[in-house]
Amino acid sequence: MLRPGQPAPWFVTGSPINPEFAFGSLGGFFTLMVFLPEEPEARADALAQIRASKAVRDQKNIPAFAVARDAATIATAQNEPGLYWFFDPSGAVSRLYYALNSEGAANPHWVLIDPSMRIFAVAGMDQTETLMNVVARLPAPDDHAGVPLHAPVLIVPRVFEPDLCRQLIGFYEGHGGVPSGVMREVQGKTVPVMDSTKRRRDAMIEDETLQALVRHRLQTRLLPEILKAFQFRVSRIERYMVACYDSQGGGFFKPHRDNTTAGTAHRRFACSINLNTEGHDGGELRFPEFGTRTYRPPTGGAVIFSCSLLHEATPVTRGRRYCFLPFFYDEAAAEIRAAYLATQEAQETQGLQNSEGARAQGASPASSAEVPAERAHQTA
């Protein structure tokens, strides 16, 4: 069994509204999961306990997820206030949580997960009443540790001087931004997708002179601080980009992680350098696994954090937030990126060969999405 204090295993599985729900996208609140008994009466009782829980029903801090493995339940399951479903027809999620052993024997039980995505409590079905009493008395998410939590982020002021901040904003205004998507895994490829997760416009910097100017500031003012704080030697920079969150469009970026696809797995640290902190309200960074506190570096200042951390950009409510948003990685991560790109190139080549063969036989080639080539530079 999993024990309190252990990380809750992550998974991707189906739900009534999302065929690929990423469990790792949760965080910032308590989560209750039940691996349902096979007996209809015991199963109905477990669901009734969830529906009767005011803490769950209020949907404020404690969503509950029932894990269904049988086809009949999966076919009829519907989300309702406070009660949601994970579909586990293969039993993979159940095995992660020791609710199904290697021989296929079920071990139904409850799992309560804390806001930092760690196990808070585990209870058998015969302990349901005790567990529900625990749920009813849970503290607010910000208080679950008993002390204030601080996200493991680094804030570094004075990375860009005011003139450079104005120059980068001018670059954006002169070139205009394009709508920004999010990266998703689609048929083994990492591709940009436009959805409701983010509302932002981006302008890529292709001018090598401006890139060099920015890179010099990062090398001399920021990377030494990353080495000192995290003992990580940055050797690669991915993308030179000015982004804009506009209050008129309600600019935001919902909770996400930056390295969860094959094409982004090389990313080690994210960086957000504010270019006009005084020119907007909202648009702050929040790390839900570490509470509701927000982080707002000054103009020209940077906030650095691991790409594995769940984070969000809160909505901009006044003005426009301009920021410079690179990713950092090292030579070991560069090998991961190169291997991914080589795999994609090989698949593209095979796809072209198959298409040529299909044309020779009079068939139409299948279309395929491409992974955008993002510019990366060595820092030295």
How confident is the model over 253-267, as pLDDT tens digits? 999 999 999 999 999
Weakest-pLDDT range from 148-152, 207-211, 347-351, 367-371: 367-371
Tokens linked to 322: 């301009």
d(CA 155, CA 298): 9
Q: For residue range 227-237, list pLDDT tens digits in order.
A: 999 999 999 99
- Output the pTM of the full model: 0.87
Which one is predicted more confidently, 180 or 269? 269
Strand partners, 21: 13
Bridging pattern class, strands 252-256 and 311-313: antiparallel
CATH of domain 12-141: 3.40.30.10
The answer as to CATH 2.60.34.10 being correct for domain 154-332 is no
Say yes or no: do domains 12-141 and 154-332 share a fold.
no
- Model confidence at 366, pLDDT cuts 50, 70, 90, reads very low
Per-domain residue ranges of the chain: 12-141, 154-332
Q: For residue range 278-330, list pLDDT tens digits in order.
A: 999 999 999 999 999 999 999 999 999 999 999 999 999 999 999 999 999 99
Q: For residue range 68-102, list pLDDT tens digits in order.
A: 999 999 999 999 988 999 999 999 999 999 999 98
